[in-house]
Amino acid sequence: MKKTRITVWNENIHEQQDKEVIEIYPDGMHNVISNFLSQNPDFEVRTATLDQPEHGLTEDILGNTDVLTWWGHKAHEQVKDEVVERVKIRVLEGMGLIVLHSAHYSKIFRALLGTNCSLKWREIGEKERLWNIEPGHPITQGIGEYIEIPRNEMYGERFDIPTPDKLIFISWLEGGEVFRSGCCWERGHGRIFYFSPGHETYPIFYNEQIQKVINNAVSWAKPRVIIPDSCPNAQPIEKVVNIHDASAKI
Amino acid sequence: MKKTRITVWNENIHEQQDKEVIEIYPDGMHNVISNFLSQNPDFEVRTATLDQPEHGLTEDILGNTDVLTWWGHKAHEQVKDEVVERVKIRVLEGMGLIVLHSAHYSKIFRALLGTNCSLKWREIGEKERLWNIEPGHPITQGIGEYIEIPRNEMYGERFDIPTPDKLIFISWLEGGEVFRSGCCWERGHGRIFYFSPGHETYPIFYNEQIQKVINNAVSWAKPRVIIPDSCPNAQPIEKVVNIHDASAKI
Amino acid sequence: MKKTRITVWNENIHEQQDKEVIEIYPDGMHNVISNFLSQNPDFEVRTATLDQPEHGLTEDILGNTDVLTWWGHKAHEQVKDEVVERVKIRVLEGMGLIVLHSAHYSKIFRALLGTNCSLKWREIGEKERLWNIEPGHPITQGIGEYIEIPRNEMYGERFDIPTPDKLIFISWLEGGEVFRSGCCWERGHGRIFYFSPGHETYPIFYNEQIQKVINNAVSWAKPRVIIPDSCPNAQPIEKVVNIHDASAKI
Amino acid sequence: MKKTRITVWNENIHEQQDKEVIEIYPDGMHNVISNFLSQNPDFEVRTATLDQPEHGLTEDILGNTDVLTWWGHKAHEQVKDEVVERVKIRVLEGMGLIVLHSAHYSKIFRALLGTNCSLKWREIGEKERLWNIEPGHPITQGIGEYIEIPRNEMYGERFDIPTPDKLIFISWLEGGEVFRSGCCWERGHGRIFYFSPGHETYPIFYNEQIQKVINNAVSWAKPRVIIPDSCPNAQPIEKVVNIHDASAKI
């Protein structure tokens, strides 16, 4: 079986600048994500970061990526529009996209969903419990009734997204809010999964259940087809008896 | 009751250049649409065209528009990105948007849906029958089992759109195709209706059933709220007992 | 304008037997619901209860009901199957149905949705906060960001329902759960709204916000068409050139 | 890998009574379906028919079935309610269900969807073309743009079903209708696929593309979990500070 080729994209700025983030992710969040995904023998994983030429997302690399994971926060605006457009085209052709935490505000997520993707937020390190409302879905296999995260940034409703094709997780927040924290969409021939955990100041990507969800999501999102966009002029299949006559009355 | 304020937008190029279009729509398609909508005493209608300053879609005009209808074909690329962004913001705040025929490829429709919005097409003037599959929906009130259009441009599947929140019409095409010809979506607080009839070389906007659908669609799409986008930092409602401690093990 | 004809159905057993319920609803919950709905000049309200002949839901009464509200808990099994079938037929023809609280387990709700409609529950009188995630929806007009209920029975996920056509409220529960507490579906030509508040031992139907939601829901659910079921043999519209020949090879 | 255990259910009455059906399916339609599915090495296939004790669908057989396919037409009413209930329970627990052609009117399909499942029909042996509108879906892998069936019974809209979770095929009918001919739903933990081809008087189940779709649908519908229904009383996870007090004012 052909391996699923994954590109783990990370902004990788907090990990250079913020002492508390450096302590948790000394080699960058992307390497932690890449490492746990690499333990899956069906996966082939590379990383890419903002500071690389074309943000590490050249035509060639995207053309050899089945699933792209995306983490960004401080520098959404620094991601070049032409790279965003390139990723968008690839997703619509069939590539999977896993959008993590603060990437709800990434250019690529907003471009694919068409909405603002705004939400409520609060950063006091409160408890979050993600309820698994679809235990039969591929993304929740091996996850129990819920995932508990002792400390996370709060994301709360209203989350300005199109109604998900499938809502997988709903979060309970200690401070009193709720959040649609795991959401699936299909766009073009590609599959998109948004998963809200992953604030940079907590070691969330070391959590085994979080790792399992991302692992499952990659498997779920891998393409079954890659179909470039076209808008073809088509010949009729059946005989058309009407004669073109613009003056015909309707 | 406050009137619904409608702005009918038209590219208005074919009506200046193409003899057969000029014969059908000598004053432009927008005036025909505006005229039939104006017969509804609950509606207040203005028009706007590409050649006007800011395409006739200033902040002030959009701020006083409840529902915008859009027809474009030849000049999608001439619509300025900043105007598209302004319309998009307004739709997400709550304004209704009715997208007609070849505007499936307009910047605004593609920006709001996030997909390519491509389709199959053929221009030989064949028959189309739009089947009403939701006779209980506000948009189909007064429409019978189907609408028949003797001659239209063919639009066929696959139509590259997100699954509609509600599929209203499916078309049968004489040449052998089918098409999702009436589709509803909600994005942000706004409602969007795509309706495929309306090729410029046929007098389709004089058809009373087509007029009724557009009339109904405007009523359906009118906003119940206008809520500007925000991404607020929120105080907790419940007491949070966890202490922020980034080094906590997960 | 024709008034919306509402029938408020109640099992009305707790109000005969349980002291604490009698104190809150001495005339039965149905009369409290009927009273607040009757303040809407567009509504015409009657009540019906389990103990009446045919549970008060004769062909004649249903045939003159636009929207039916349903509260039941202890005696779901006492509702006759033929009455359930009659209500189901009427909903599929176009009548609206508002399903309250423990009626998640009513025969009619389960028959229309096809799933078990099971959930988690706990009765310790905890706080519930219903987050309004669709402020633009007709059902949430006049409701702010959330509704808070100081004491309610807990209903928690996983709620075994088909994905709602539109999810309106998500609840935060003091004890740590979440719940899809306001859900819309369309079935046949009818509209269904499930709303989870309303436990009999708390005075929830006196809460003005709860009353407003039910009021809005009735307006949203009122029929635009009533279409009896049929499965017609249809003549072809287009000429069919194939000759019926069962032995034709495929 | 564990094989997918399939039970192919057939009413098997036409094949005993109608000369033209006997010629096409001398051993019954179920054996043709069973034969082509058996060529898939991942599948283990058995058949069951109406005339068997409990219609061949005992607790034991259902408990060892991953995916059930269903064909019925003349004798829907002869299927015992207790067997229908048993199948329904099993689907909600996770078993897949493939509903073929005239089984749109089977008790099990109507019980799971909650609607009438009525449609328009005509039996003159006309051409049908099923357009594949989801080329990236598991069910359409290996299928091109469309499937053409030279002669079939016509099924046309309006098809009285809940909006499909995913619409896969839309049919063009020679006589002028359209039809949602391939539809997916999830109910409970189970997956349901309705596929309209398969009239008994045409050799449709010998068509290789039809066989491929059913093959793919079985793979798509196989369960990832089997979870019996429960409605548990749950202990709070978080501390609840409110004291139960029914007289509290709201």
Q: What is the predicted pLDDT for the residue at D243?
A: 52
Query: Which residues from chain D sit within 8 angstroms of residue A224, using beta carbons?
Result: 136-138, 141
Say whether A188 and B229 touch across the interface (CB within 8 A).
no
Say whether B136 and C237 touch across the interface (CB within 8 A).
no
pLDDT band at A250; cut points 50, 70, 90: very low
* Distance from C-alpha of A198 to C-alpha of A120, rounded to nearest angstrom: 16
* Distance from C-alpha of D193 to C-alpha of D180, rounded to nearest angstrom: 12
Rg for chain C, CA atoms, rounded: 20
Query: Would residue C46 count as lying in a domain?
Result: yes
In this structure, what is the dihedral angle of CA atoms A228, A229, A235, A241, given to the nearest 10 degrees? 150
* Residue D61 in contact with partner chain C when CB distance is under 8 A: no
- Phi/psi at B70 (5° precision): -135, 125
Output the six-digit token pair for A129.
Answer: 């419990």
Angle between the N-to-C axes of helices B208-221 and B29-38, in degrees from 0 to 180, rounded to the nearest 10: 70
Q: What is the predicted pLDDT for the residue at A15?
A: 95
Length of chain D: 250
Q: Closest-CA residue in chain A for D146?
A: A237
Query: Would residue C171 count as lying in a domain?
Result: no
Three-state DSSP class for residue A109: helix
pLDDT band at B242; cut points 50, 70, 90: low
User: Which neighbouring-strand residues pair with B96?
Assistant: B67
Output the six-digit token pair for D141.
Answer: 């892998």
Question: Is the predicted pLDDT of residue D228 greater than 60, yes or no?
Answer: yes
* Per-residue pLDDT reduced to its tens digit, C9-63: 999 999 999 999 999 999 999 999 999 999 999 999 999 999 999 999 999 999 9
DSSP 8-state symbol, C142: T
* Per-residue pLDDT reduced to its tens digit, C6-17: 999 999 999 999
Say whether B131 and D157 touch across the interface (CB within 8 A).
yes
- Phi/psi at C170 (5° precision): -120, 130
* Per-residue pLDDT reduced to its tens digit, D61-103: 999 999 999 999 999 999 999 999 999 999 999 999 999 999 9
Q: What is the predicted pLDDT for the residue at B244?
A: 52
Question: Is the predicted pLDDT of residue C246 greater than 50, yes or no?
Answer: no
CB atoms within 10 A of CB C235: 9
Q: Closest-CA residue in chain C for A144?
A: C158
Query: Would residue C103 count as lying in a domain?
Result: yes
Q: What is the predicted pLDDT for the residue at A247?
A: 46
* Mean pLDDT of the C180-185 span: 98
CATH of the domain at B51: 3.40.50.880
Three-state DSSP class for residue A158: coil
Q: HEC string of chain D? A: CCCEEEEEEECCCHHHHCHHHHHHCCCCHHHHHHHHHHCCCCEEEEEEECCCHHHHCCHHHHHCCCEEEEECCCCHHHCCHHHHHHHHHHHHHCCEEEEEHHHHHCHHHHHHHCCCCCCEEEEEEEEEEEEECCCCCHHHCCCCCEEEEEEEEEEECCCCCCCCCEEEEEEEECCCCEEEEEEEEEECCEEEEEECCCCCCCCHHHCHHHHHHHHHHHHHHCCCCCCCCCCCECCCCCCCCCCCCCCCCC
Say whether A136 and D237 touch across the interface (CB within 8 A).
no
Its domain, for residue C187, covers 4-115+183-221
* Per-residue pLDDT reduced to its tens digit, A34-74: 999 999 999 999 999 999 999 999 999 999 999 999 999 99
Rg for chain D, CA atoms, rounded: 20
* Distance from C-alpha of C151 to C-alpha of C21, rounded to nearest angstrom: 14
Place of tokens 């091996």: A142
Query: Would residue C248 count as lying in a domain?
Result: no
CA distance B139 to chain A (A): 21
- Cross-chain CB nearest to D225 (options A135, A223, A224): A135
Name the C residues in 202-221 with CB < 8 Å from any D CB. Answer: 202-204, 206-207
Query: Which residues from chain B sit within 8 angstroms of residue C141, using beta carbons?
Result: 224-225
Question: Is the predicted pLDDT of residue A248 greater than 80, yes or no?
Answer: no
The total number of structural domains that make up chain B: 1
Under 8 Å between Cβ of B140 and B161: no
pLDDT band at C244; cut points 50, 70, 90: low
* Mean pLDDT of the C214-218 span: 98
* Residue D173 in contact with partner chain B when CB distance is under 8 A: yes
Say whether C136 and B237 touch across the interface (CB within 8 A).
no
* Residue C126 in contact with partner chain A when CB distance is under 8 A: no
Query: Which residues from chain D sit within 8 angstroms of residue A237, using beta carbons?
Result: 129
The percent of residues in chain C predicted with pLDDT above 70, rounded, is 96
* Distance from C-alpha of D147 to C-alpha of D150, rounded to nearest angstrom: 10
Query: Which residues from chain B sit within 8 angstroms of residue D180, using beta carbons?
Result: 133, 170
Under 8 Å between Cβ of C221 and C193: yes
Query: Which residues from chain B sit within 8 angstroms of residue C227, using beta carbons?
Result: 135-136
Output the six-digit token pair for A17.
Answer: 């600048």
Q: Which chains would you list as touching C if contact means 3+ CB atom pairs under 8 Å?
A: A, B, D
From residue B52, alpha-carbon distances to B48, B56, B58, D1 in Å are 7, 5, 10, 66
DSSP 8-state symbol, A222: S
Q: What is the predicted pLDDT for the residue at C247?
A: 46
pLDDT band at D204; cut points 50, 70, 90: very high
* Distance from C-alpha of D135 to C-alpha of D138, rounded to nearest angstrom: 8
The percent of residues in chain B predicted with pLDDT above 70, rounded, is 96
* Per-residue pLDDT reduced to its tens digit, D7-46: 999 999 999 999 999 999 999 999 999 999 999 999 999 9
Query: Would residue C87 count as lying in a domain?
Result: yes
Question: Is the predicted pLDDT of residue C215 greater than 80, yes or no?
Answer: yes
This model of the complex carries an ipTM of 0.95
Question: What integer best gives the mean pLDDT of chain A?
Answer: 95
- Cross-chain CB nearest to C157 (options A131, A159, A180): A131
User: Which neighbouring-strand residues pair with A170?
Assistant: A131, A180
* Per-residue pLDDT reduced to its tens digit, B80-111: 999 999 999 999 999 999 999 999 999 999 99
Say whether C94 and B136 touch across the interface (CB within 8 A).
yes
* Residue D177 in contact with partner chain B when CB distance is under 8 A: yes
Under 8 Å between Cβ of D196 and D182: yes
Query: Would residue A164 count as lying in a domain?
Result: no
Q: What is the predicted pLDDT for the residue at D250?
A: 42
* Mean pLDDT of the C162-175 span: 98
Query: Would residue A188 count as lying in a domain?
Result: yes
* Distance from C-alpha of A153 to C-alpha of A175, rounded to nearest angstrom: 11
* Residue A172 in contact with partner chain C when CB distance is under 8 A: yes
Strand runs labelled E in C80-238: 96-100, 120-132, 146-156, 166-173, 178-187, 190-195
From residue B10, alpha-carbon distances to B5, B29, B72, B193 in Å are 16, 7, 6, 16
Q: What is the predicted pLDDT for the residue at A1?
A: 74
* Residue B138 in contact with partner chain C when CB distance is under 8 A: yes
D4-10 vs C178-187, strand pairing mode: unpaired
Question: Is the predicted pLDDT of residue A243 greater than 80, yes or no?
Answer: no
Question: Is the predicted pLDDT of residue B248 greater than 90, yes or no?
Answer: no
From residue B219, alpha-carbon distances to A11, B44, B206, B213, C42 in Å are 45, 12, 19, 10, 20
Say whether D136 and A224 touch across the interface (CB within 8 A).
yes
Question: Is the predicted pLDDT of residue D1 greater than 80, yes or no?
Answer: no
* Residue C128 in contact with partner chain A when CB distance is under 8 A: no
Query: Has this prediction a pTM greater than 0.90?
Result: yes
With vertex at residue A146, the alpha carbon angle to CA A142 and CA A147, rounded to the nearest 5 degrees, is: 85
Place of tokens 């080729």: A5
Say whether A136 and D223 touch across the interface (CB within 8 A).
yes
Query: Would residue A14 count as lying in a domain?
Result: yes
Question: Is the predicted pLDDT of residue C248 greater than 70, yes or no?
Answer: no
Residue C119, C-beta contacts closer than 8 angstroms, at least 6 positions apart: C104, C155, C156, C157, C158, C159, C160, C179, D231
Say whether A162 and B185 touch across the interface (CB within 8 A).
yes
The percent of residues in chain A predicted with pLDDT above 90, rounded, is 96
* Per-residue pLDDT reduced to its tens digit, C92-110: 999 999 999 999 999 999 9
